[in-house]
Amino acid sequence: QVQLVESGGGLVQAGGSLRLSCAASGSIFSINAMGWYRQAPGKQRELVAALTSGGSTNYADSVKGRFTIFRDNAKNTVYLQMNSLKPEDTAVYYCNADGVATARGYVVRSWGQGTQVTVSS
């Protein structure tokens, strides 16, 4: 019912920047919160950053001061600006949307397919 399409991943050198985008579609009326998670090889998926419709943010300690999450509500799109990237930021980054009201009903949680971010040292 809700489709999330990520873009913006790639290969970057340590110290560089990337911006990830995630567009939600599917006859959406509103989205409570959108966020980004990541999963490195052999590790569990972890929260990177989240943003509610009211503007509250939550960041993992490891990215505070380097990453910024922001959202265009009119476009149902969330962004993750990643600066000062480190090799340990290498992972597949997943977009998620929580509490989505659509024309076909309420969707508790949706996930994107993921986008690879690789930071070389």
63 vs 78: CA distance, rounded Å = 17
Q: Is the pLDDT of residue 12 over 90?
A: yes
Q: Is the pLDDT of residue 7 over 90?
A: yes
Tens digit of pLDDT for each residue in 19-46?
999 999 999 999 999 999 999 999 999 9
96 vs 85: CA distance, rounded Å = 22
Report residue 110's pLDDT band, with 50, 70 and 90 as the boundaries.
very high
Report residue 15's pLDDT band, with 50, 70 and 90 as the boundaries.
very high
Check if the beta carbon of residue 44 is closer than 8 Å to that of residue 60.
Answer: no
Nearest CA to 104 out of 5, 4, 25, 22 is that of 25
35 vs 18: CA distance, rounded Å = 16
Q: What percentage of the chain carries pLDDT values higher than 70?
A: 100
Ramachandran class of 65: left when φ > 0, alpha when ψ lies in -120 to 50, beta otherwise:
left
Report residue 1's pLDDT band, with 50, 70 and 90 as the boundaries.
confident
Type of residue found at 46: E
